[in-house]
């Protein structure tokens, strides 16, 4: 048992960072627009050559 319990003024923030990994971003954005009425503000696609992961791929 802690000797100094958390006071009412202290805020406990969990270390949780939710994210989604999506293979086909364009299809996922279209799904969100159709299902929930979302609108795309900005969508950029990087080329495979510009991707940092491209150097670790097997030929």
Question: Can you give the three-state secondary structure of the chain, one letter per residue?
Answer: CCCCCCCCCCCCCCCCCCCCCCCCHHHHHHHHHHHHCCCCCCCCCCCCCCCHHHHHCCC
Are 12 and 6 within 8 A, CB to CB? yes
Record the pTM: 0.43
| Residue 15, in any domain of the structure | no
| Residue 46, in any domain of the structure | yes
| Residue 59, in any domain of the structure | no
First-to-final CA distance of the chain: 56
Q: What is the pLDDT along the chain (59 residues), one digit of tens a residue?
A: 566 665 667 778 778 888 888 999 889 989 999 999 988 888 777 776 655 554 444 44
Q: What is residue 16's predicted lDDT score, i.e. its pLDDT?
A: 82
| Residue 36, in any domain of the structure | yes
| Residue 12, in any domain of the structure | no
* Angle at alpha carbon of residue 55, lines to 54 and 57, rounded to 5°: 65
Question: Domain residues for 35?
Answer: 25-53
Total tally of structural domains belonging to the chain: 1
């Amino acid at each position: 048992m802690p000797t100094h319990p958390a006071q009412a003024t202290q805020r406990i923030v969990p270390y949780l960072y939710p994210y989604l990994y999506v293979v086909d971003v364009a299809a996922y954005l279209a799904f969100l627009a159709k299902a929930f009425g979302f609108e795309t503000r900005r969508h950029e696609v990087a080329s495979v050559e510009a991707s940092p992961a491209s150097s670790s791929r097997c030929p």
